[in-house]
Amino acid sequence: MKNRFGQTMKNTVKMNFGILMGLVILCLGLTVLTDKFATVTNFFNVVRQITINLYLACGMTFVILLGGIDLSVGSVIAVTGCVSAGMITWVGLPVPVGILTGILCGTLVGALNGIIISRTTIPAFIVTLATMNIGRGIARIYTHAQTIAVLDDPYTFWGMGSILGLPIQLYLIIAVVVLTSFILNRTGLGRHIYATGGNKIASEYSGINVKRVTFFVFVLSGFLASLAGVLTVGRTFTATMIMGDGAEMDAIAAVVLGGTSMSGGKGSISGTVIGVIVIGILKNGMNLLGIDSSWQYVVQGIVILIAVYIDYIKSEGSALSAFKAMVGKRA
């Protein structure tokens, strides 16, 4: 068991060595630039900040591994947060029922994506772009463009509570990371996801139910995004129609930065976790340094471009190696 764990850690470090070095350099730089960075208080603050993106990024990893994209996750945060908060504050439902209602609505958005994408040839980009706008519209209609306050302790506990001195969100993200990593690495479904992302046609011929795999992946993405919506409300005590605006970009950046190929078939949850931490610490550091939010968007955009370019270089390198191997065999 120890040998297996040790080997897994070695493989993780080997696959993500570049980004890990970047993370170390980033942390050292911020430690030198501001004395507010390397503190226990800021550590817990970073944990709370990255939790939302980690939920989204874990789901996005499944989607991108399949060769797709999910632009609707930010809107799912808004739908889930607004519906759950409204059901509790306006309708008067018990907190657990209100939360479950919101999660159900968010998951249904993922299911709608999955049904359309798995049963038609419409690209995931177009489908999720449409549901992104639909979700935003639903959140606006439901809230009448108002802010919904949520002050119920059982709800806010999930956003700001702690157990044994550690944020509840730390336990939750560990559970999500372990579960999603287990699905990808230890189940037949995970193998089918990698296979489908690598070669969809070959997967169909080998007997893999590609439609079912695709449906599951988008439902999972919607479900994890809905959990992020609940936690967002629990942390901010409010729900608004603009919740999660742009969150999909953070998730995509973290996934690609963590080594998952945009063309599908290659990637890992461990890489995504590192990508999320890098994005989270980068944003936290810019806030501590007082960098204007407009410039933060610029920096984040540059990071996404760099990540996509690295993915492109890797893909080109793999294709070139495969071509050379094929030519070598023929010779």
Report pLDDT digits (tens) over 27-53.
999 999 999 999 998 988 888 889 999
Helices (H), 243-292: 247-257, 269-288
Of residues 238, 321, 304, 247, the one with CA closest to residue 74: 247
- Say how far apart CA 237 and CA 226 lie, in whole Å: 16
Q: What is the mean pLDDT of the chain?
A: 89
> What does the longest C-alpha to C-alpha distance in the chain come to?
75
- Say how far apart CA 265 and CA 204 lie, in whole Å: 15
Q: What is the pLDDT of residue 165?
A: 83
Label residue 313 by pLDDT band (50, 70, 90). confident
Q: State pLDDT tens for residues 225-248.
A: 999 999 999 999 999 999 999 899
Does residue 91 have a pLDDT over 80?
yes
Task: Give the H/E segment covering residue 8.
Answer: helix 2-15
- Say how far apart CA 220 and CA 173 lie, in whole Å: 15
Label residue 323 by pLDDT band (50, 70, 90). very low
- Residue pair 181/190 in contact (Cβ under 8 Å)? The answer is no
Q: State pLDDT tens for residues 123-154.
A: 999 999 999 999 999 999 999 989 999 988 78
- Residue pair 106/220 in contact (Cβ under 8 Å)? The answer is no
Of residues 312, 327, 128, 123, the one with CA closest to residue 218: 128
Q: What is the pLDDT of residue 318?
A: 57
> pTM of the full predicted structure?
0.89
Label residue 6 by pLDDT band (50, 70, 90). low
